């Protein structure tokens, strides 16, 4: 490698924030500006944001990690490493639960794709991941003796980015951080219409704005879209209105949001129990699939998914996708009834009342007018056969693919470098 050769450096960053504040996107933006300012040959190529396993123990609400792709002259690599070492924040020594343990994972070339797939689909032990990084050409930069951020950072640099969307994150002026955000919910509701390439701006079922966080972090809003131009145009449109707070700066990220990467495959099975409605309106039921009796949970916040689960009967054949939790239950994300069992409601009615049998093998008779007819039962109308149900936007995972992008994939989703 000659000193003048340009190389691409992947810089993963995670765990600089915590549940009570901070933002890793903001920190990555500061880091990018520092590198470009201090290293003449440095050019930013792309920023990436990946959502990871929703059940991770040390997570903030969105559970995201970041990656920065930088192009530099090979002679400046050591300067870049030194800059990163000086910049990386100190770990948080407070008593806050899940206090931050920042880490950077940095190197050249492709990282093992398994780092991403293991982290987006399940639990990863810190020591195991550190050992894997140590055995690679990448290095961990941290000030912590337990750099939990290395798990997400390594996943971010390893993401293959084959199925992606975009998010523009706009940040607040420092003197506004912690104060109420000036974001007009009615105006936000018009963004999806004016800029159809954007999505998840507002929950139409509740009117709730979905682009502005509710924590005291530096983010003003995040606009998600199918392409870069849509999110930029929507941002410029919002910033032109007096009812929207001015942002100091923004960054555009390629993301794994709406990819369903956290799901391995679709289930098909037969319901084996009557739905049980528990505290808070949550629903649980069991279904047998691939020879295993599965426990399925549909939370009240899931709206249509919860309602569909309540209507299930033993014997129904259903398709579903969901995330397996640490207790082995499946948290339902989307569900579809494909073959319902007939549900007997009652005898035919006459004169406003159900007709009654006069005895074994006898005809039915109306007790009011004495009209008779052959013995039969009336079943309930067919339910929503073949129609998928999903949660409302405000209770949908960032990484979940909405039905507007098509029904769930029916094939097993086994990524490269993962055992089938």
Cα end-to-end span (Å), the chain: 38
Lowest mean per-residue pLDDT among 23-32, 306-315, 340-349 = 340-349
Q: What is the mean pLDDT of the chain?
A: 90
Task: For 9-69, give the DSSP string.
Answer: EEEEEE---BTTB--HHHHHHHHHHHHHHH-TT-EEEEEEEEE--TT-SS--SS-EEEEEE
Domain ranges of the chain: 6-158, 165-255, 267-342+381-405, 350-375
Mean pLDDT over 49-71 rounds to 88
Residue 166 pLDDT exceeds 60: yes
Q: Beta 64-73 vs 43-51: how paired, if at all? A: antiparallel
What is the band of 419 on the pLDDT scale with cuts at 50, 70, 90? very low
Q: For residue 266, which phi and psi values (nearest 5 degrees)?
A: -90, 145
Residue 62 pLDDT exceeds 80: no
Residue 60 pLDDT exceeds 70: no
165-255, CATH topology level: 3.90.600
Distance CA 272, CA 285 (A): 8
Distance of CA 163 to the CA centre of its chain: 14
Distance CA 162, CA 415 (A): 11
Q: What is the pLDDT of residue 362?
A: 82
Residue 349 sits at the vertex; the CA angle it makes with 343 and 354, to the nearest 5 degrees, is 80
Residues of the chain above pLDDT 90, percent: 70
Residue 398 pLDDT exceeds 80: yes
Mean pLDDT over 309-326 rounds to 94
Distance CA 277, CA 176 (A): 44
**Coil, helix or strand at residue 257:** coil
Mean pLDDT over 27-43 rounds to 96
Alpha helices, H only, 240-388: 304-310
Strand-pairing partners, residue 281, are none
Q: Six-digit token pair at 230?
A: 């849509």
Q: What is the pLDDT of residue 420?
A: 37
Mean pLDDT over 314-337 rounds to 95
Cβ pair 102, 15 in contact under 8 A: yes
**Coil, helix or strand at residue 352:** coil
Task: List, for residues 333-389, the tens digit of each pLDDT value.
Answer: 999 999 988 776 677 788 878 878 877 778 888 888 888 887 776 666 667 789 999
Strand-pairing partners, residue 346, are 378
Q: Six-digit token pair at 329?
A: 């239950």
Residues of the chain above pLDDT 70, percent: 91
**Coil, helix or strand at residue 321:** strand
What is the band of 235 on the pLDDT scale with cuts at 50, 70, 90? very high
Residue 412 pLDDT exceeds 80: no
Backbone CA torsion sign across 169, 174, 180, 186: negative
pTM: 0.87
Task: List, for residues 88-141, the tens digit of each pLDDT value.
Answer: 999 887 666 677 899 999 999 999 999 999 999 999 999 999 999 999 999 999
If one compares 415 and 124, the residue with the highest pLDDT of the two is 124
In CATH, which of 3.10.20.30, 3.30.70.2200, 3.40.190.10, 3.10.620.30 is domain 6-158?
A: 3.30.70.2200
- From its phi and psi, is residue 417 left (phi > 0), alpha (psi between -120 and 50) or beta? left
Please give the DSSP secondary-structure letter assigned to residue 202.
B
Distance CA 83, CA 34 (A): 8
Residue 163 sits at the vertex; the CA angle it makes with 159 and 169, to the nearest 5 degrees, is 75
What is the band of 414 on the pLDDT scale with cuts at 50, 70, 90? low
Mean pLDDT over 158-185 rounds to 94
Distance CA 335, CA 342 (A): 19
Distance CA 368, CA 349 (A): 11
CATH number of 267-342+381-405: 2.40.50.1010
Q: Helices then strands (H, E): number in the chain? A: 8, 23
Distance CA 253, CA 338 (A): 38
Residue 242 pLDDT exceeds 90: yes
**Coil, helix or strand at residue 127:** helix
Residue 241 pLDDT exceeds 60: yes
């Amino acid at each position: 490698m000659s000193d003048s050769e340009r190389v691409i450096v992947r810089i993963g960053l995670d765990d600089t924030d915590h549940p009570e504040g901070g933002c890793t996107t903001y920190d990555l933006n500061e880091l990018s500006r520092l590198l470009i300012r201090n290293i003449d040959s440095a050019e930013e190529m792309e920023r990436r944001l990946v959502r990871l396993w929703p059940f991770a123990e040390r997570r903030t609400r969105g559970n995201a990690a970041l990656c920065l792709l930088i192009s530099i002259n090979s002679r400046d690599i050591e300067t870049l490493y030194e800059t990163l070492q000086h910049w990386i924040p100190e770990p948080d020594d407070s008593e806050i639960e899940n206090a931050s343990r920042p880490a950077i994972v940095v190197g050249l070339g492709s990282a093992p794709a398994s780092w991403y797939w293991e982290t987006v689909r399940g639990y990863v032990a810190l020591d195991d991941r550190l050992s894997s990084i140590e055995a690679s050409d990448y290095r961990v930069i941290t000030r912590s003796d337990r750099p939990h951020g290395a798990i997400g950072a390594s996943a971010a640099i390893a993401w293959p980015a084959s199925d992606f969307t975009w998010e523009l994150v706009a940040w607040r002026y420092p003197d506004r951080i912690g104060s109420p955000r000036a974001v007009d919910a009615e105006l936000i509701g018009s963004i999806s219409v004016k800029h159809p390439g954007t999505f998840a701006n507002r929950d139409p079922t509740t009117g709730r704005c979905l682009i502005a966080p509710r924590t005291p972090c530096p983010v003003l809003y995040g606009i998600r879209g199918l392409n870069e131009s849509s999110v930029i145009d929507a941002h410029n449109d919002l910033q032109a209105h007096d009812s929207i707070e001015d942002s100091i700066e923004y960054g555009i990220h390629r993301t794994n949001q709406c990819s369903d990467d956290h799901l391995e495959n679709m289930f098909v099975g037969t319901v084996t129990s009557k739905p049980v409605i528990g505290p808070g309106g949550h629903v649980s039921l069991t279904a047998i699939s691939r020879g295993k009796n599965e426990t399925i949970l549909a939370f009240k916040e899931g709206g249509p998914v919860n309602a569909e689960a309540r209507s299930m009967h033993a014997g129904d054949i259903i398709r579903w996708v969901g995330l397996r939790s640490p207790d082995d239950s499946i948290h339902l994300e989307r569900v579809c009834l494909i073959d319902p069992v007939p549900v007997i409601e009652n005898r035919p009615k006459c004169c406003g009342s159900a007709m009654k049998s006069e005895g074994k093998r006898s005809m039915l008779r109306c007790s009011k007018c004495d009209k008779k007819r052959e013995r039969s039962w009336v079943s309930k109308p067919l339910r929503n056969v073949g129609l998928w149900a999903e949660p409302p936007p405000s209770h949908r995972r960032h990484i979940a693919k909405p039905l507007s992008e098509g029904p769930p994939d029916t094939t097993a989703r086994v990524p490269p470098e993962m055992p089938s």
